[in-house]
């Protein structure tokens, strides 16, 4: 029998106030994220601007506060000027990143309008691959200024009177990757990032900037890249980016679930690197982390590579349309717990991506096509809705098991979030033990009089179950077999399950 887990939670033991932007997401001009994803004028649910209302409704359900745009790899050859102005005059462009045709029907102004409808801010990325500081400055002026200068005037001429006030800017994308158009060496990129942020801050000193970190933890330049980039750009930027995609390498589900231990190591290494540069520079400011791409991504790799090679220059083809399984949802839940555990330094994170492309929301194309929730929709939705407030540092005693490539994997991974205003505390927990249910006890201190308001869980025995437009096989269940007595919560967590226990007055 698996060892009982005890989680001690004290109201006073705060990690940090969670920055709501930790529940951000990402829309790239890639595959069907934009066209037939968020935008499809001939769809039965399309609004006056051509946006799918069925998709908007699901995006609002996820409560996403910020969306990164327009890439990704796409941004590294993005000519933003082509995406604005009268639609009939816009240039069709080849997108080399994904080898598709970009019609530029949706651009800066349309996306900003969509984000407003989705109740989300825009996190804008500038092209530091094939372009530089000048294009970034012009874009900033176009988006944010109310002056009578050329680009601000151009926006008004395009029908957009009010500036967008975009606060958070990404200085390029994955510039360490040899696949990136305009890939650079660390010092070279660091210098360009510093100069671009410096110039943009001259236009508006209140902006925040994200410098590119490593594309993933396995990059040969990992960590020295961050140290070199920050050595150049430390004073001008606020965040360093992290990207990580999880792939199941064998049939071993337990090993798949252990991948978030590597994520924890990744985050700790980057915090250490930021702090090393801070020490070296005798700086008084911290660089925080923008985990601006994370998700499971592996199901469609092989087919996508083949299609991009054999069928280039298609309009919104099916690319990166991973259909997520039950176990993928559990991995995303684990990733969310890990991000929350580091919420003192991870201030921004983007689930990559939002619609159709490695996404929680999928759409069928066609006039009457349906939109549906993938399995991974649920942990993200729960965390985003119930995970606002202060992350609390728990002490967890739990059993451990070994997997193919990981020793000492804990059974229960968990975090608690205190929403002081609502007088609620939520426990998010995953049972990584794929064979056995685990008895779970949470000992609460500082929450006298709290009762269990709701217990939601994703539970299943078919690790490969998926959702479709026709059937939602993976959806949360409401559990009632839970007790709270003298501030001690007790229940049993099913094997391989995602658990959300909402407590309140």
User: So which residues are the catalytic ones?
Assistant: 174, 293
Buried b (16+ CB within 10 A) or exposed e, 285-310: eebbbbbbbbbbbebbeeebeebbee
- In the bound state with ligand AHR, the residue whose beta carbon lies nearer, of 72 and 495, is 72
> Residue 322 or residue 411: which is nearer to ligand AHR going by CB?
322
Cβ proximity of 246 and 296 under 8 Å: yes
Apex CA 252: angle with CA 300 and CA 5, to 5°? 120
Segments of 109-197 assigned E as strands: 121-126, 168-171
Q: How far is the CB of 293 from ligand AHR (least distance, A)?
A: 5
Cα–Cα distance measured from residue 364 to residue 371, given in angstroms and rounded to the nearest whole number: 6
Cα distances (angstroms) measured from residue 116 to each of 121, 335, 391, 487? 7, 28, 28, 42
Closest distance to ligand AHR from the beta carbon of 350 (Å): 9
* Smallest gap from residue 164 Cβ to ligand AHR (A): 23
Least spacing, CB of residue 355 vs ligand AHR, in Å: 12
Distances (CA, A) of 364 to 30, 191, 226, 262, 393: 16, 44, 40, 35, 42
77 or 426: CB nearest ligand AHR:
77
For the chain, what is the radius of gyration of the CA atoms? 23
Q: Which is nearer to ligand AHR, 317 or 389 (CB)?
A: 317
What dihedral do alpha carbons 267, 272, 277, 282 form, nearest 10°?
A: 130
Shortest gap between Cβ of 343 and ligand AHR (angstroms)?
Answer: 23
| Residue number with CB closer to ligand AHR (21 or 388) | 21
Chain residues that interact with ligand AHR, rule: CB under 6 A: 28, 71-73, 173-174, 293, 352-353
Rounded to a whole number of angstroms, the minimum distance from the CB of residue 382 to ligand AHR is 23
Residue number of the CB atom closest to ligand AHR: 72
- Residue 246 tokens, joined: 């999880």
Angstrom CA distances, 295 to 259, 351, 427, stand at 12, 6, 22
Nearer to ligand AHR, 73 or 384 (CB): 73
Q: Measured from the CB of residue 366, what is the shortest distance to ligand AHR in angstroms?
A: 25
Where does 204-325 have alpha helices with state H?
224-233, 253-257, 259-281, 301-310
Considering the complex, state which of residue 296 and residue 466 has its C-beta at the smaller distance from ligand AHR: 296
Measured from the Cβ of residue 405, the count of other Cβ atoms closer than 10 Å reads 13
**How many angstroms separate the Cα of 160 from the Cα of each of 110, 117, 163?**
10, 15, 7
- Tally the C-alpha atoms within 13 A of residue 124's C-alpha that lie toward its C-beta: 25
CA–CA distances in Å: residue 21 to residues 340, 351, 422, 463: 12, 11, 19, 30
**Minimum separation from the CB atom of position 178 to ligand AHR (A):** 12
- Tokens 């006073």: give the residue: 12
CB of 177 or CB of 190, closer to ligand AHR: 177
Q: Is the peptide bond before 70 cis (omega within 30 degrees of 0)?
A: yes
Quickly count helices (H) and strands (E) in the chain.
11, 27
């Amino acid at each position: 029998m698996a060892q009982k887990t005890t989680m001690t939670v004290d109201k006073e033991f705060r990690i940090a106030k969670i920055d709501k932007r930790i529940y951000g997401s990402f829309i790239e001009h890639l595959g069907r994220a934009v066209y037939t994803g968020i935008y499809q004028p001939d769809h039965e649910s399309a609004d006056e601007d051509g946006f799918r209302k069925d998709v908007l409704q699901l995006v609002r359900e996820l409560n996403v506060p910020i969306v990164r745009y327009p890439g990704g790899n796409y941004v590294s050859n993005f000519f933003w000027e082509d995406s604005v102005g009268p639609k009939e005059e816009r240039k069709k462009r080849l997108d080399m990143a994904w080898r598709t045709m970009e019609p530029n029907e949706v651009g800066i102004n349309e996306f900003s309008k969509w984000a407003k409808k989705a109740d989300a801010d825009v996190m804008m990325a500038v092209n530091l691959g094939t372009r530089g500081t000048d294009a970034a400055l012009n874009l900033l002026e176009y988006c944010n200024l109310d002056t009578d200068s050329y680009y601000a005037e151009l926006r008004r001429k395009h029908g957009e009177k009010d500036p967008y006030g975009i606060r958070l800017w990404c200085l390029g994308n994955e510039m360490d990757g040899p696949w990136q158009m305009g890939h650079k060496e660390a010092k070279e990129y660091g210098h360009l990032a510093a100069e671009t942020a410096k110039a943009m801050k001259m236009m508006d000193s209140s902006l925040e900037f994200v410098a590119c970190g490593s594309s993933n933890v396995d990059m040969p330049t990992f960590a020295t890249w961050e140290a070199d980039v920050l050595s150049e750009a430390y004073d001008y930027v606020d965040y360093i980016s992290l990207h990580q995609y999880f792939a199941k390498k064998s049939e071993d589900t337990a090993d798949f679930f252990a991948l978030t231990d590597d994520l924890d190591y990744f985050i700790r290494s980057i915090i250490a690197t930021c702090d090393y540069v801070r020490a070296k520079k005798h700086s008084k400011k911290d660089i925080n982390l923008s985990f601006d791409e994370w998700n499971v991504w592996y199901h469609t790799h092989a087919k996508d590579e083949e299609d991009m090679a054999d069928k280039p220059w298609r309009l919104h083809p099916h690319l990166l349309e991973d259909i997520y399984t039950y176990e993928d949802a559990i991995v995303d839940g684990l990733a969310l717990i890990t991000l929350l555990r580091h919420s003192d330094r991870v201030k921004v994170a983007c689930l990559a991506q939002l619609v159709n492309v490695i996404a929680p929301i999928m759409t069928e194309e066609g006039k009457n096509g349906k939109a549906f929730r993938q399995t991974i929709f649920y942990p993200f939705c729960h965390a985003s809705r119930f995970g606002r407030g202060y992350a609390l540092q728990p002490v967890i005693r739990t059993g451990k098991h070994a997997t193919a490539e990981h020793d000492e994997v804990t059974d229960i991974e968990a975090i608690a979030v205190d929403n002081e205003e609502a007088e609620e505390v939520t426990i998010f927990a995953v049972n990584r033990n794929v064979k056995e249910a685990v008895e779970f006890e949470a000992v609460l201190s500082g929450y006298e009089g709290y009762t269990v308001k709701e217990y939601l869980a994703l539970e299943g025995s078919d690790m490969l179950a998926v959702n479709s437009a026709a059937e939602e096989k993976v959806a949360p269940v409401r559990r009632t077999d839970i007790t709270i007595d003298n501030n001690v919560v007790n229940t049993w967590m099913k094997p391989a399950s995602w658990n959300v226990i909402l407590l309140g007055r």
